[in-house]
């Protein structure tokens, strides 16, 4: 017999990056496991919840307190997930408690949300009921109700029972009080799909390319050798049928008794996406995303926890769905930057999917029309297997025709560049006339970029952040896109009183207004985070667009991804240059290429050939050119050489250490002290940029400094930084690490 554990290491919900030792009482020693949620005494008589993360034979601490009990709230986790969280705490340099907390949705963690219940009614035993009816022959209502119940011994809800018996609730209450009718509470799910019935669909006959991809995947699922890669990169152009490949792979996994997780970027987690999975797998599916109410989220998570579903579809955090027989993780649009979490743990779900897959021996499929440079490089060097879908599933549906318009040639006599080229306006008119639809894309919300005074040079800046405010016309406000501060927009320059004050640049709101003037009578809607403040608005606008109630949809990246509208035959990109030349953003080219390809992919998905028009002042930029030619291969070849030369990822890891606080001198001093502490472990091949003010120096009143490290082996450095952060207090200064940061900013 195995030795029973004597001492458990547990993590409390603190941020100390340390576990505590507790004695395991004999009555639970046989039952306790890693991952279990337990109650422990902590501080003055209080009990707190904690996760068991390991066991020990001895402890350096004398007189250990004992664990009180195992929580009965059904939130214990598989030990593989506990292991994953420890890995993340290490790699992303965050407290272990933070990493464990991240495994559970807030709604489950808080312990406040409970299973929803409904009262069900049953007859007491038959003798009692018969006796009662004989004793009360004149009570017609009560007798009728009891007769109905005797026919439904498996129980009924009050609503159903009263309807069938045709009597009032008072009758039921009386019978309950006389114990002739008994009640029982039953758990019911809060169903986020209530009323949304979907028609079942059958697997589609795979195209030759899909068949080849599925063949490779089947081999990986069933005959993979231990030293063989467990990751498949599925590179398929937009509309090539990647989703169909996921669906058939999931079916294969379920058949073999396995479970699957599908990650999609939050923004593409629309009803349309979910329905594609529901129509194939029905109730075997749980959906996890931020649009759910706490109660729904709790129920969806519990369905996984209790083994009632085999598939979880969701945004980033669905990666931690507590499956015990995980066989597949799909990361759709694997290049998407929303997979990187911006708070601790600052993990990238794409990368952690690969790690979880490794830990649990599950296959990982990374899918994209525009794979990240990292993933494609891994495929080229053989670390990942590669499957390609080069054609749309129906080869007669061609990739859209893309035109690049040089906006410098569109300027008027005085050198002013208009918002829209003649070509774009003509193309939209054409679509309106033909009853087809257009999408107009701009990567910036608001009306105008900033408010400035040509007389004195004044620019309206945020009081708390070192950025210019953005003008929003509808609300006549200036808002800060960093901290959310808002003020009303002035009519005259607050500095010199000039009436010449101007709004420069353009945003989605301004485009909408200009469009309404140009295309009189057209039905136009705008989708950005200013207008789409609730998920229901988002679904509503999309539904109107799908039905053909709108001619033109204007939006930010919210509309760039995943939408599949067959009647959209034109996509206009207002300003493709935006963000191309941000200093410190070494992925600017990659992001521009991805975004343009994604947006273009919205055109011509039905039978009619799509057209895309890209307005730019940098027509020879290679990201724009390669996107226009749908040429990922050439884009990658050029980009990877550049990265190699500059030693950027994937040739090095980027690690940022952020420092922030209200007093800039104190922040810098803390930063310098930390640097001195870690300097001895920095290897000679690691590039170091000493702590310097961040490009946006101040956000929300806090000064920010960043130190940058680039290298191939940063494990030693990570450990040293983490120990420097957690081994002492840094009053007034927050320090955190952003490992594999997406940019240098």
Residues 439-478, interacting with Zn ion (CB under 5 A): 453, 455-456, 458, 462, 464-465
Tell me the closest approach of the beta carbon of residue 337 to ligand ADP, in angstroms: 19
DSSP category for residue 340: B
Q: Are strands 702-711 and 687-699 parallel, antiparallel or unpaired?
A: antiparallel
485 touches, from ligand ADP, Zn ion, none (C-beta below 5 to 8 Å by class): Zn ion
244 touches, from ligand ADP, Zn ion, none (C-beta below 5 to 8 Å by class): ligand ADP
Do the Cβ atoms of 478 and 496 come closer than 8 Å?
A: no
Cβ proximity to ligand ADP, 245 vs 478, nearer residue: 245
Tell me the closest approach of the beta carbon of residue 201 to ligand ADP, in angstroms: 8
Do the Cβ atoms of 659 and 691 come closer than 8 Å?
A: yes
Q: How far apart are CA 652 and CA 637, in angstroms?
A: 18
* CA 563 centroid distance within chain: 17
Tell me the closest approach of the beta carbon of residue 390 to ligand ADP, in angstroms: 11
Tell me the closest approach of the beta carbon of residue 319 to ligand ADP, in angstroms: 20
79 touches, from ligand ADP, Zn ion, none (C-beta below 5 to 8 Å by class): none
Cβ proximity to ligand ADP, 55 vs 565, nearer residue: 565
Do the Cβ atoms of 286 and 301 come closer than 8 Å?
A: yes
Considering only 4, 56, 496, 692, the residue that binds Zn ion (CB under 5 A) is 496
Cβ proximity to ligand ADP, 264 vs 354, nearer residue: 264
* CA 220 centroid distance within chain: 27
Tell me the closest approach of the beta carbon of residue 242 to ligand ADP, in angstroms: 3
Applying CB under 6 A, the residues found at the interface with ligand ADP are 204-207, 210, 236, 238-244, 393, 564
Q: Alpha helices, DSSP H only, in 92-168?
A: 96-101, 106-109, 126-135, 140-151, 158-165
Written as six digits, the tokens of 56 are 């020990």
Tell me the closest approach of the beta carbon of residue 638 to Zn ion, in angstroms: 37
240 touches, from ligand ADP, Zn ion, none (C-beta below 5 to 8 Å by class): ligand ADP
Residues 498-517, interacting with Zn ion (CB under 5 A): 498
Tell me the closest approach of the beta carbon of residue 470 to Zn ion, in angstroms: 10
Tell me the closest approach of the beta carbon of residue 330 to ligand ADP, in angstroms: 11
429 touches, from Zn ion, ligand ADP, none (C-beta below 5 to 8 Å by class): none
* Burial class for 499, CB neighbours closer than 10 Å (0-12, 13-18, 19+): exposed
472 touches, from Zn ion, ligand ADP, none (C-beta below 5 to 8 Å by class): none
Q: Determine, following the binding rule CB under 5 A, whether residue 483 of this chain makes contact with Zn ion.
A: yes
- Between the alpha carbon of residue 158 and those of residues 83, 121, 164, 166, the distances in Å are 47, 7, 10, 11
179 touches, from ligand ADP, Zn ion, none (C-beta below 5 to 8 Å by class): none
Q: How far apart are CA 514 and CA 572, in angstroms?
A: 15
Listed in sequence order, the residues at least 6 apart from 171 whose beta carbon sits closer than 8 Å to its beta carbon are 141, 142, 145, 165
Cβ proximity to Zn ion, 428 vs 478, nearer residue: 478
Q: What value, to the nearest 5°, has the Cα angle with vertex 22 and ends 20 and 24?
A: 145
DSSP category for residue 235: E
241 touches, from Zn ion, ligand ADP, none (C-beta below 5 to 8 Å by class): ligand ADP
DSSP secondary structure of 578-629: TTTT-TT-TTHHHHHHHHHHHHHTTSS-SSSPPEEEEEES-TT-HHHHHHHT
Tell me the closest approach of the beta carbon of residue 402 to ligand ADP, in angstroms: 17
Candidates 154-162, 204-212, 488-496, 595-603; binding stretch for Zn ion (CB under 5 A): 488-496
Considering only 216, 461, 485, 544, the residue that binds Zn ion (CB under 5 A) is 485
Do the Cβ atoms of 35 and 83 come closer than 8 Å?
A: no
242 touches, from ligand ADP, Zn ion, none (C-beta below 5 to 8 Å by class): ligand ADP
Tell me the closest approach of the beta carbon of residue 457 to Zn ion, in angstroms: 7
Q: Determine, following the binding rule CB under 5 A, whether residue 486 of this chain makes contact with Zn ion.
A: no
251 touches, from Zn ion, ligand ADP, none (C-beta below 5 to 8 Å by class): none
Phi-psi region of 210 (alpha: psi -120 to 50; beta: other; left: phi over 0): alpha
Order of all β-strands in the sheet with 486-488: 470-472, 477-479, 486-488
Cβ proximity to ligand ADP, 32 vs 389, nearer residue: 389
Q: How many CA atoms, within 13 angstroms, populate the side-chain half-sphere of residue 16? A: 8
* CA 684 centroid distance within chain: 37
Cβ proximity to ligand ADP, 155 vs 206, nearer residue: 206
Rounded to a whole number of angstroms, the CA Rg of the chain reads 30
Cβ proximity to ligand ADP, 103 vs 285, nearer residue: 285
Measured distance between the N- and C-terminal CA atoms of the chain, rounded to whole angstroms: 56
Cβ proximity to Zn ion, 220 vs 702, nearer residue: 702
456 touches, from ligand ADP, Zn ion, none (C-beta below 5 to 8 Å by class): Zn ion
Tell me the closest approach of the beta carbon of residue 292 to Zn ion, in angstroms: 30
Cβ proximity to ligand ADP, 54 vs 606, nearer residue: 606
Cβ proximity to ligand ADP, 131 vs 204, nearer residue: 204
Place of tokens 């006549």: 476
Q: How far apart are CA 438 and CA 429, in angstroms?
A: 10
100 φ, ψ (degrees, to nearest 5): -70, -45
Listed in sequence order, the residues at least 6 apart from 73 whose beta carbon sits closer than 8 Å to its beta carbon are 37, 111
Q: Determine, following the binding rule CB under 5 A, whether residue 213 of this chain makes contact with Zn ion.
A: no
- Between the alpha carbon of residue 137 and those of residues 130, 140, 323, the distances in Å are 11, 7, 56
Q: How far apart are CA 511 and CA 612, in angstroms?
A: 18
Cβ proximity to ligand ADP, 244 vs 300, nearer residue: 244
Cβ proximity to ligand ADP, 210 vs 508, nearer residue: 210
Place of tokens 């959209």: 568
464 touches, from Zn ion, ligand ADP, none (C-beta below 5 to 8 Å by class): Zn ion
- Between the alpha carbon of residue 416 and those of residues 164, 505, 513, the distances in Å are 75, 12, 19
Q: How many CA atoms, within 13 angstroms, populate the side-chain half-sphere of residue 388? A: 7
* Burial class for 110, CB neighbours closer than 10 Å (0-12, 13-18, 19+): exposed
578 touches, from Zn ion, ligand ADP, none (C-beta below 5 to 8 Å by class): none
Q: How far apart are CA 252 and CA 241, in angstroms?
A: 17
Cβ proximity to ligand ADP, 242 vs 350, nearer residue: 242
Tell me the closest approach of the beta carbon of residue 607 to ligand ADP, in angstroms: 12
Q: What value, to the nearest 5°, has the Cα angle with vertex 363 and ends 357 and 364?
A: 75
Cβ proximity to ligand ADP, 236 vs 345, nearer residue: 236
Cβ proximity to ligand ADP, 207 vs 686, nearer residue: 207
610 touches, from ligand ADP, Zn ion, none (C-beta below 5 to 8 Å by class): none
198 touches, from ligand ADP, Zn ion, none (C-beta below 5 to 8 Å by class): none
236 touches, from Zn ion, ligand ADP, none (C-beta below 5 to 8 Å by class): ligand ADP
Cβ proximity to ligand ADP, 157 vs 272, nearer residue: 272
Listed in sequence order, the residues at least 6 apart from 667 whose beta carbon sits closer than 8 Å to its beta carbon are 659, 660, 661, 703, 704, 705, 733
Considering only 161, 175, 440, 480, the residue that binds Zn ion (CB under 5 A) is 480
* Residue ranges binding Zn ion (CB under 5 A): 453, 455-456, 458, 462, 464-465, 480, 482-483, 485, 493, 495-496, 498
């Amino acid at each position: 017999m195995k030795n029973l554990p004597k001492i458990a290491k547990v993590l409390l919900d603190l941020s100390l990056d340390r576990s505590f030792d507790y004695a395991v009482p004999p009555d639970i020693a046989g039952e306790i496991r890693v991952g279990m949620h337990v109650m422990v005494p902590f501080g003055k008589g209080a009990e707190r919840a904690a996760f068991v993360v390991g066991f020990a034979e001895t402890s350096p601490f004398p007189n250990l307190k004992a664990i009180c009990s195992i929580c009965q709230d059904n939130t214990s986790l598989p030990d593989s997930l506990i292991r994953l969280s420890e890995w993340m705490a290490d790699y992303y340099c965050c407290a272990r408690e933070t990493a464990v907390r991240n495994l559970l949705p807030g709604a489950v963690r808080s312990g406040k949300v409970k299973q929803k219940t409904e009262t069900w009614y049953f007859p007491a035993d038959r003798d009692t009921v018969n006796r009662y009816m004989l004793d009360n022959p004149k009570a017609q209502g009560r007798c009728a109700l009891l007769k109905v119940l005797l026919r439904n011994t498996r129980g009924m809800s009050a609503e159903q029972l009263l309807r069938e018996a045709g009597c009032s609730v008072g009758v039921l209450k009386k019978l309950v009080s006389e114990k002739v009718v008994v009640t029982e509470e039953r758990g019911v799910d809060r169903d986020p799909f209530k009323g949304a019935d979907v028609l079942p669909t059958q697997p589609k006959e795979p195209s030759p390319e899909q068949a080849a991809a599925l063949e490779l995947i089947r081999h990986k699922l069933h005959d993979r050798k231990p030293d063989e890669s467990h990751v498949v990169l599925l590179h398929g152009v937009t509309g090539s049928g990647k989703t169909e490949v996921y669906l058939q792979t999931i079916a294969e996994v379920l058949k073999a008794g396995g479970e699957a997780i599908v990650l999609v970027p939050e923004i593409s987690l629309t009803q349309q996406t979910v329905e594609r999975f529901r129509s194939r797998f029905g109730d075997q599916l749980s959906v996890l995303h931020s649009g759910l109410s706490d109660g729904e989220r709790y129920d969806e998570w519990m369905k996984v926890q209790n083994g009632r579903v085999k598939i979880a579809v969701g945004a980033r955090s669905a990666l931690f769905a507590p499956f015990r027989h995980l066989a597949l993780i799909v990361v759709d649009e694997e290049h998407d930057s929303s997979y990187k979490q911006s708070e601790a743990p600052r993990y990238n779900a794409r990368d952690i999917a690969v790690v979880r897959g490794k830990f649990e021996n599950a296959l990982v499929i990374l899918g994209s029309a525009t794979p990240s440079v990292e993933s494609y490089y891994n495929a080229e060097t053989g670390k990942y297997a590669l499957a390609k879908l080069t054609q749309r599933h129906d080869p007669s549906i061609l990739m859209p025709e893309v035109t690049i318009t040089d906006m410098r040639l569109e300027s008027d006599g005085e050198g002013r560049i208009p918002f829209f080229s003649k070509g774009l306006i003509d193309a939209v008119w054409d679509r309106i006339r033909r009853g087809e639809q257009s999408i107009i894309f701009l990567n910036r919300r608001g009306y105008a970029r900033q408010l400035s005074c040509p007389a004195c040079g004044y620019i309206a800046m945020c009081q708390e952040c070192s950025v210019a405010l953005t003008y929003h016309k509808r609300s006549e406000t200036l808002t800060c896109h960093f901290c959310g501060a808002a003020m009303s927009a002035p009519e005259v320059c607050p500095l010199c009183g000039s009436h010449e004050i101007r709004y420069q640049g353009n945003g989605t709101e301004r485009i909408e207004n200009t469009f309404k003037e140009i295309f009189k009578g057209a039905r136009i809607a705008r989708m950005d985070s200013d207008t789409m403040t609730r998920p229901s608005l988002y679904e509503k606008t999309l539904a109107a667009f799908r039905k053909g109630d709108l001619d033109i949809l204007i939006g930010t990246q919210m509309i760039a991804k995943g939408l599949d509208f067959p009647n959209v035959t034109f996509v206009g990109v207002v300003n493709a240059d935006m963000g191309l030349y941000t200093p410190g953003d070494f992925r600017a080219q990659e992001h521009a290429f991805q975004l343009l390809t994604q947006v273009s992919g919205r055109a011509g998905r039905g039978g009619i050939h799509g057209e895309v028009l890209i307005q730019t002042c940098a027509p020879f930029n290679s990201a724009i050119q390669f996107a226009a030619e749908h040429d990922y291969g050439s884009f990658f070849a050029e980009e990877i050489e550049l990265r190699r030369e500059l030693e950027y990822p994937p040739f090095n890891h980027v690690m940022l250490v952020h420092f922030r606080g209200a007093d800039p001198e104190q922040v810098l001093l803390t930063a310098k002290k930390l640097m001195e502490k870690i300097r001895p472990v920095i290897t000679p091949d690691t590039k170091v940029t000493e702590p310097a003010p961040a490009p946006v120096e101040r956000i929300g009143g806090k000064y920010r400094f960043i130190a940058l490290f680039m290298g191939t082996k940063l494990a030693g450095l990570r450990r040293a930084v983490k120990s420097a952060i957690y081994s002492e207090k840094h009053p007034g200064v927050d320090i955190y690490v952003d490992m594999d940061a997406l940019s240098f900013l």
